[in-house]
Structure 1
Amino acid sequence: MKTKSNLSGVFNFKTKAFTILLSCFLLLSIISCSKKAETATEENTNAIVTDTIQVAPANPPENFKHETATVNGIKIHYVIGGKGEPLVLVHGFGQNWYMWNRLLPELSKHFTVIAPDLRGVGESGKPEGGYDKKTMASDIHELVNQLGYKKINLAGHDIGLMVAYAYVAQYEDSVNKVAIMDALLPGVEPVWSSVSASAWWFGFFAWPASGDIVKGKEKEFLTNFWPVVGHVKEPFTPEETTEFIRAYAVPGGTTAAFKWFGAFPQDGKDNLIFMKKKIKTPLLAMGGEYFAAAFLKDHSKLVAENVTESKIANSGHWLVQENTAQVQKDLLDFFLSK
């Protein structure tokens, strides 16, 4: 069992505490003191002005297409392409479906890949509620059912990790394999209390006023936050940076996405019920060397029986971008193995 001190070391909180705190205060100062930008009209939610440049949603690879579906009474946007068994990829906070863009060409040679935008961000709906991961998992499940798939492979990063676990916990018979990537599960101890006590952004994002503070300053907010949990300097391409900012600048986007964090108390209660019965589905615990790799395997074993580990070298939290080649290889090795 890892101590709180050891876990703090995993995140470099002792060596980087001043940097993180300074980043926090700088971020809040920039946002609080800046003039709020004008928001786009409701009729123009698919074209957001960023730095005076009008930006449309990013295009997926040639063999993929944008689609939408109505599930649980809300719109869910997704991209789909490829051939073979379905593989559903669920993004996390600070990114949208486009976080998988580098992997889609190769993955689509082996799978029909479905990459949705979670409720609350981008072109997906932004309802008042339903941001607990149990409900968000049911969004994905209903989408999969509408597409006619009975059984899927599943991968989730960050918030998507939490949604992926909630999916398997509820619908285990419909999942072949699951990969959970660089985060942790609310309520699952001892890691949850140790990490959440140090991760200041958990509290800020869950604060009801945070959405109003960040509104109109999504670029300043995200570009200040990304380095806090990363390791590789500037891991995103200009196209990725532009798309992620655009997705959260869609009216209501950041406010709704923050509700993913506001739902953590309910998620913790749900997970304590889920973990009473460990999942048997093969699970890949994939963590960045400089972020979750030190604890994710042991953490996963508290909720799953069949756990394989992948430590992504020279990577922080944004492991898909920080070490694309190893992430792609390890995912393919896992999902294609018999």
Structure 2
Amino acid sequence: MKTNLLNNVFSNLKNKTAQLFAVVILLLTFISCNKKAEETPATEAKPAKTTETTQPAPANPPANFKHATATVNGIKIHYVIGGQGDPLVLVHGFGQNWYMWNRLLPELSKHFTVIAPDLRGVGESDKPESGYDKKTMASDIHELVNQLGYKSINLAGHDIGLMVAYAYAAQYGDSVKKVALMDALLPGIEPVWSNVKGSAWWFGFFAWPASGDIVKGKEKEFLTNFWPVVGHVKDPFTAEESAEFIRAYATEGGTTAAFKWFGAFDQDGKDNLVFAKKKLKMPLLAMGGEYFAAAFLKDHSKLVAENVTESKIAGAGHWLVQENTAQVQKDLLAFFLGK
């Protein structure tokens, strides 16, 4: 039965890729047409129009949270922080930024001091040329935690954030009380890695060095066509969520840098094979969407961790927090507050 579920997931991924293929083709056509236009001599000189564009302001968190920045590993990391109690660090994934957690922050902050950073490469965080392997990205978060004065944390990561959270727990296990891995997979951990990598064609496109130039200036078209590829619920994001995610990736160099998260997968795979030699000992929650990673994430996680429990998010695809907010909140609280 598990094999059939996994096959269904891979088949579902393949069936949905046509949507994003169309977007890529349109973007390539757009660039090609522009290039031809630039090479064709103009028959009439027209005065250039000068317009000033203002970057939209970042979205605001709940009233008991604040925006902040810290310099870690020589770069600036933006984060929001609020609440009270033990620290809970929430790490976002691709196609979203810290704001993916916004629906959960009011309730989570009643129980925890919640820290939700923007990963290097997106939004108000810096976008350096290198350092997009998850081992390094985890060290960004660890240094931030240290600067904030915390010795141990609870940790949750979604999508790329799952990979960063695992790298954090593998490197700094003594300082992680519990970790939740949400709806993705770990590079290099087989057999799931090769199966998904072979089906999720966007892994290759995003890792392609030219992809950032193709998407630049078309972040809205790109993201609104990509989100449904791995989702299940129709239009799960609010207008405010969509606008914030688009804004974060439209910051200068944003999409190009975020694509480097995928370009580092080969190195991540090598690192994970080393990490996996010593299984995680802290409690781990494997949280997958019914129509995405729930088919494999529990067994996948058991290959790298000793104490794994499962949460299957009903009716959800990849965008768990938005597709079934109530169950995600309930299950995260039960896990992190449970004894």
Structure 2 portions without partners, runs of 5+: 35-52
* Structure-to-structure mapping, 1:197-276, within 5 angstroms: 197-276=198-277
Contact 1:10 1:294 in 2 (8 A): yes
CA distance in 2, matches of 1:131, 1:17: 27
Q: Secondary structure at the match of 1:308?
A: strand
The structure number with the bigger radius of gyration is 2
Q: How many residues align?
A: 319
The aligned counterpart of 2:8 is 9
CA distance in 2, matches of 1:315, 1:193: 23
Structure 1 vs Structure 2 CA RMSD: 1.5
Q: Contact 2:68/2:79 (CA < 8 Å) preserved in 1?
A: yes
2:23 is the counterpart of 1:27: yes
Per-residue deviation, 1:262 = 0.3
Whole-Å Cα distance in 1 between the matches of residues 54 and 320 of structure 2? 29
Aligned to 2:44: none
Name the SS for the 1:55 alignment partner: coil
Partner AA of 2:148 in structure 1: L
* Aligned CA distance change for structure 1 residues 278 and 19 (closer, same or farther; 3 Å): closer
1:313 equivalent to 2:314? Answer yes
Query: Which residue of the partner structure matches residue 154 of structure 1?
Result: 155
Give yes or no for contact 1:206–1:262 (8 Å, CA) kept in 2: yes
Aligned-partner SS, 1:139: helix
Q: CA deviation at 1:26?
A: 1.1
**Which residues of 2 match residues 185-200 of structure 1 at below 5 A?**
185-200=186-201
Distance 1:20 1:276 in 2: 35
Give the letter aligned to residue 8 of structure 1: N
Amino acid corresponding to residue 63 of structure 1 in structure 2: N
Pairwise mapping of residues 19-168 of structure 1 onto structure 2 (< 5 A)?
Answer: 19-21=16-18, 23-34=19-30, 55-168=56-169
Distance in 1 separating the partners of 2:338 and 2:21: 47
Shift of residue 6, structure 1, vs aligned partner: 5.1
Deviation at 1:11, TM superposition (A): 3.9
> What is the SS of the residue equivalent to 2:296?
helix
CA distance in 1, matches of 2:181, 2:127: 25
- Displacement, 1:7? 2.4
Give the SS at the match of 2:311.
strand
Query: Segments of 4+ in structure 1 off by > 4 A?
Result: none
Structure 1 residue 34: Cα displacement: 3.2
Q: Deviations over 1:7-45 (max 9, x none)?
A: 2312443xx744422x13211123223368xxxxxxxxx
